[in-house]
């Protein structure tokens, strides 16, 4: 009765009706789109383009919709971008039941499908950072961090004593930062355990790559593919045997002599073990928290450090400027928190590095937990991901004159002019004009730890080595991937030890 052409025609008509109906009733329809191909289906072409050129589309969107909201197609869905001080402040003020950071970050990285109940609902990794990475505690960590830095440099860095030696800088910095961070996370001996450190070092780049691949999957397939791409179970399975004895030993000592255990380890692992007993989390949950911590802590820090080294090498006059500041302070006062407080040029240079390219084009990623109306009347539907346009904020001429120019002492001048403004214009500041670490009550809780590690390593390099670009002698280009700005992971640098 029905011939094949009629069935094909009927199917085409039904699909078109479904497609058009869905397009016109799409919950994000009322938010304008920045991009060339505005129609659903064709927007995948924009998404493909935005994977590598999101900055260009973002600039086009900001030209038209600055101070309001627009959406950008990415391969893993639409992203709502807000800009302008009013809208950014609106994001900051929203309570978690309206805009959630943890749901936003997990969904953005596709980890919402990966994690245990403990990590998703109690977030011990986040509590651990808030409890253990306070400014006061970080001051006491500096001698320990310096000790670990010397150890890891001895272990993995070429001596460079008889001439220039070539180093792949990002992978080396990822190793250095992973070792230093884990000295504080798990202490000795585990921070020097080869198997654990290898797993912890390769985990963040692996997770980012797998998250990116998952983003390419259609929604219907994601849950199934996630089972194969999820990096957590394997990492936990491989790491658990390395930690089970230590966890058991520490747990029983904690229970037996909580008040009298004089040499109780003062690291994040100990905090996680005590918290796990209270919350009834398993050993696997503890190890999963360690991997979440490594993911949050090491990749951004190593990438920022690499960017800073590239900026410095590009401008040799800055190396002398910073050496002249750092050398007399360290020579008279040693490696202390107070010494680093005095290195104002170093702080300004690093704040400029974060402003100039940083690690992301957006910040303050949030998921709408229900339909909300932003202050300009934009309706953001439940489930949408909202980002603040950080790159635009950081390149706004009104806040940063000659914003396209790299100006290492810009923040020091701003700080001197605004003398009374306390901690404003510092590397770890968080404000509507400066948001590499986010802004508001959810601003990165690990930023003070990241800042001291970057300063330590950079000061160590500047005092100990001459440096220049390896490879073809030019600065390795940044790689834009989605909204991420990655320092070229293959970039080569040459180092030569300086005479004492």
Residue list, annotated binding site for heme: 444
Q: Which of 108, 437, 460, 495 binds ligand HEM (CB under 6 A)?
A: 437
Q: Which of 450, 452, 457, 467 binds ligand HEM (CB under 6 A)?
A: 450
Q: Is 102 in the site for ligand HEM (CB under 6 A)?
A: yes
Q: Is 111 in the site for ligand HEM (CB under 6 A)?
A: no
The nearest distance, CB 497 to ligand HEM, in angstroms, is: 27
Q: Is 389 in the site for ligand HEM (CB under 6 A)?
A: no
Q: Alpha helices of 186-267 — where are they, by DSSP H?
A: 194-216, 219-229, 232-256
Q: Is 300 in the site for ligand HEM (CB under 6 A)?
A: yes
The nearest distance, CB 218 to ligand HEM, in angstroms, is: 28
Q: Is 443 in the site for ligand HEM (CB under 6 A)?
A: yes
Q: Are 119 and 125 in contact (CB under 8 A)?
A: yes
Q: Is 296 in the site for ligand HEM (CB under 6 A)?
A: yes
The nearest distance, CB 172 to ligand HEM, in angstroms, is: 17
Q: Is 133 in the site for ligand HEM (CB under 6 A)?
A: yes
The nearest distance, CB 304 to ligand HEM, in angstroms, is: 4
Q: How far apart are CA 199 and CA 187, in angstroms?
A: 16
CB closer to ligand HEM out of 77 and 440? 440
The nearest distance, CB 39 to ligand HEM, in angstroms, is: 32
CB closer to ligand HEM out of 351 and 408? 351
* Sheet hosting strand 492-497, strand order edge to edge: 165-168, 492-497, 465-469
Q: Which of 445, 470, 476, 491 binds ligand HEM (CB under 6 A)?
A: 445
The nearest distance, CB 357 to ligand HEM, in angstroms, is: 11
Q: How far apart are CA 111 and CA 109, in angstroms?
A: 5
The nearest distance, CB 216 to ligand HEM, in angstroms, is: 24
What x-and-dash track marks residues 22-41 binding ligand HEM by CB under 6 A? --------------------
Pairing status of strand 77-82 against strand 385-388: parallel
The nearest distance, CB 231 to ligand HEM, in angstroms, is: 18
Q: Which of 204, 215, 432, 446 binds ligand HEM (CB under 6 A)?
A: 446
Whose tokens are 């991420």? That residue is 484
Q: Which of 138, 444, 461, 467 binds ligand HEM (CB under 6 A)?
A: 444
Query: How many C-beta atoms lie closer than 10 Å to residue 77's C-beta?
Result: 16
Count, residues near ligand HEM per rule CB under 6 A: 27
What are the phi and psi torsion angles at 46 (to 5°)? -60, -45
- Provide the CB-side half-sphere exposure for 235 (13 A, CA): 27
Q: Which stretch of DSSP H or E encloses residue 180?
A: helix 169-185
* Token representation of residue 57: 């589309």
Whose tokens are 């000790």? That residue is 147
- For ligand HEM, which stretch binds (CB under 6 A), given 21-29, 57-65, 341-349, 443-451? 443-451
| CB crowding 485-498: b at 16 or more within 10 Å, else e | bbbbbebbbbbebe
Is residue 43 classed as helix, strand or coil in its secondary structure?
Answer: helix
Binding residues: 444
* Token representation of residue 86: 């009013």
Q: Which of 83, 270, 301, 478 binds ligand HEM (CB under 6 A)?
A: 301
Q: Which of 34, 54, 82, 126 binds ligand HEM (CB under 6 A)?
A: 126
Q: How far apart are CA 331 and CA 321, in angstroms?
A: 16
Length of the chain, please?
500
Q: How far apart are CA 110 and CA 209, in angstroms?
A: 11
Burial (CB < 10 A; 0-12, 13-18, 19+), residue 66, is middle
| Structural Rg of the chain based on CA atoms | 24
CB closer to ligand HEM out of 33 and 348? 348
Q: Which of 47, 73, 99, 101 binds ligand HEM (CB under 6 A)?
A: 101
- For ligand HEM, which stretch binds (CB under 6 A), given 164-172, 250-258, 299-307, 368-376? 299-307
Whose tokens are 């450190």? That residue is 197
Q: How far apart are CA 99 and CA 89, in angstroms?
A: 13
What x-and-dash track marks residues 336-375 binding ligand HEM by CB under 6 A? -----------------------x---xxx----------
- For ligand HEM, which stretch binds (CB under 6 A), given 31-39, 293-301, 410-418, 462-470? 293-301
Q: How far apart are CA 494 and CA 482, in angstroms?
A: 30
Alpha carbon 258 to its chain centroid, in Å, reads 36
Interface residue list for ligand HEM (CB under 6 A) = 101-102, 126, 129, 133, 296-297, 300-301, 304, 359, 363-365, 436-440, 442-447, 449-450
């Amino acid at each position: 009765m029905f011939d094949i052409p009629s069935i094909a025609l009927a199917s085409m008509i039904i699909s078109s009706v479904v497609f058009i109906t869905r397009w016109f009733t799409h919950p994000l329809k009322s938010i304008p789109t920045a991009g060339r191909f505005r129609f659903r289906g064709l927007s995948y072409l924009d998404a493909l383009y935005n994977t590598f050129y999101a900055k260009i589309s973002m600039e086009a969107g900001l030209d038209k919709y600055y101070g309001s909201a627009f959406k950008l197609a990415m391969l893993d869905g639409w992203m709502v971008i807000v800009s302008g001080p009013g809208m950014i402040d609106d994001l900051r003020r929203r309570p978690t039941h309206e805009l959630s950071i943890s749901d936003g970050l997990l969904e953005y990285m596709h980890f919402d499908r990966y994690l245990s109940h403990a990590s998703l609902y109690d977030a011990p990794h986040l509590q651990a950072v808030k409890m253990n990475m306070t400014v006061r505690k970080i001051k006491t960590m500096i001698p320990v961090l310096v000790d670990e830095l010397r150890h890891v440099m001895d272990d993995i860095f070429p001596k460079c004593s008889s001439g220039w030696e070539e180093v792949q800088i990002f992978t080396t910095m990822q190793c250095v930062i992973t070792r230093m961070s884990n000295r504080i996370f798990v202490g000795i001996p585990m921070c020097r355990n080869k198997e654990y450190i290898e797993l912890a070092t390769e985990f963040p780049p692996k997770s980012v790559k797998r998250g990116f691949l998952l983003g390419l999957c259609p929604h219907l397939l994601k849950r199934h593919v996630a089972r194969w791409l999820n990096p957590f179970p394997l990492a936990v399975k491989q790491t658990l045997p390395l930690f089970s004895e230590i966890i058991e030993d520490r747990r029983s000592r904690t229970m037996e002599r909580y008040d009298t255990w004089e040499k109780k380890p003062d690291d994040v692992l100990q905090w996680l073990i005590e918290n796990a007993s209270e919350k009834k989390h398993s050993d696997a949950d503890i190890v999963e928290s360690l991997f979440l911590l490594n993911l949050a802590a090491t990749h951004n820090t190593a990438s920022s450090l690499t960017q800073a080294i590239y900026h410095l090498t590009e401008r040799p006059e800055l190396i002398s400027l910073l050496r002249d500041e750092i050398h007399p302070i360290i020579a008279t006062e040693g490696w202390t928190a107070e010494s680093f407080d005095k290195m104002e040029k170093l702080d300004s240079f690093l704040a400029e590095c974060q402003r100039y390219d940083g690690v992301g084009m957006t910040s303050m990623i949030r998921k709408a937990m229900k339909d909300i109306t932003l202050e300009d009347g934009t309706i953001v539907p439940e489930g949408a991901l909202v980002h603040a346009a950080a790159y635009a904020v950081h390149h706004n001429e009104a806040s940063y004159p000659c914003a396209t120019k790299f100006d290492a002492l810009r923040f020091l001048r701003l700080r001197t002019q605004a003398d009374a403004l306390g901690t404003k214009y510092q590397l770890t500041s968080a404000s509507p004009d400066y948001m590499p670490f986010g802004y508001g009550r959810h601003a990165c809780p690990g930023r003070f730890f990241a800042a001291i590690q970057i300063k330590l390593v950079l000061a160590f390099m500047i005092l100990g080595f001459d440096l220049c670009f390896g490879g073809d002698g030019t600065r390795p280009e940044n790689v834009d991937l989605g909204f991420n700005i990655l320092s070229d992971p293959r970039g080569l640098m040459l180092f030569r030890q300086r005479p004492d």
